[in-house]
Amino acid sequence: MNAFKFVLFSTLLVIGGQSCKTPKVIVKNHGPKNEDPAMYTIVDKSQQITDSIARNSIAFYIPKETDPVKTIRINFNIFQDDSGYGNFRNVSADIERLNNMFHWLNGIYGNNPAPSDPIAGVIELHKTHIQFELNGVFYYKNSGLINSINSYELLQEIKKTDPKRMDQLNVCFTNGKFGTASGLSSLPTKNLNADMYIVSLNFYNNGKTIGDFAATTNMAHEFGHAFDLVHTYMGGGASPNCATSAEDSEYLDDVFGQWPGNCPHFVTDSAHSWGFDTFSSPNDRRTNNIMGGFQSSSYFSPKQIGMMHRALAIKTPKRYIR
């Protein structure tokens, strides 16, 4: 049974997991596309069809300025070697780094910047109306897991240590390597009991703090996946829905423009490094969108925010709302 579960979850890691680029390296598409509109089709048979459509539409979930903030309960889980080294430790310098990351994460979700490539008519939101509450920072001395990217075995270790930690969305800090990815995330589904995860790869960076903010933007991006967002560019196991007609309500016209728009956007290449100035041109398909792949990536479009709130209303991450 355990072996079966392991295989099952390993498969889910590949199919459902998202991987995200590290700075300066082109992301390879190492997973299938995830743009099946059916995943958004929630049929509530107790409702009239019109209600059902409204309740599934992105627009329905775009928060108003006065709407309350949803707070998501999370844990930071640090996987060290058997001696308690090789990753963040329970010492003041490392705790400060982790605290910074947590506060930056809330800053990214709390202060939505202007888009680098604005689209006419879009009324921007100043914040996502999503914040995070750090339930705890937990350390695990286990040389067998410090380099893991296997979300199943990481979650099992957390669960074994304290099952109550499954009540929060678990961020796992390891030094694992997964292609060029700097993070992995589960996707929401209609299963409200599934355990979600984010795996943050090599954020410790041998004790160097220089990349801490950039690492946090990656974590913010991973939470975007956990809340149902896909990339603005092709690849990384989470390609955008460029749609086959203007009728596709899942098409993000506030990211790509009126259909067919300029979907997909581009990610880094030899001429456009991770640090590329996405504000240098308003229509070069290189933007500061949170689901893009540049250093400046931190902007959420209104419909992306609506998608996240829809996931928080009817999909797995709902269980982590305070």
Binding footprint of Zn ion on the chain (CB under 5 A): 18, 20, 236
- H/E element, 305: helix 302-314
**CB nearer to Zn ion: pick between 224 and 261:** 224
Query: Within 13 Å of residue 47, how many CA atoms lie on the same side as its CB?
Result: 11
Please, what is the minimum distance in Å from the beta carbon of residue 236 to Zn ion? 5
CB of 195 to Zn ion, least distance (A): 20
Q: Say if residues 223 and 198 touch (Cβ distance below 8 Å).
A: yes
For Zn ion, the closer CB: 160 or 177: 177
Q: Which is nearer to Zn ion, 20 or 312 (CB)?
A: 20
User: Collapsing DSSP states into helix, strand and coil, what is residue 50?
Assistant: helix
Q: Give me the residue whose beta carbon is nearest to Zn ion.
A: 20
Nearer to Zn ion, 161 or 180 (CB): 180
CB of 185 to Zn ion, least distance (A): 7
Q: Give the shortest CB-227-to-Zn ion separation in angstroms.
A: 12
Residue 37 CA to residue 31 CA, distance in Å, equals 17
Is the distance from CB of 287 to CB of 116 less than 8 angstroms? Answer: yes
**Minimum distance, C-beta of residue 58 to Zn ion, in the bound complex (Å):** 19
Angle at 186 between CA 170 and CA 39, to 5 degrees: 140
Residue nearer to Zn ion on the CB measure, 236 or 240: 236
Tokens at residue 62, please? Answer: 């775009």
Distance (Å, whole) CA 152 – CA 228 = 20
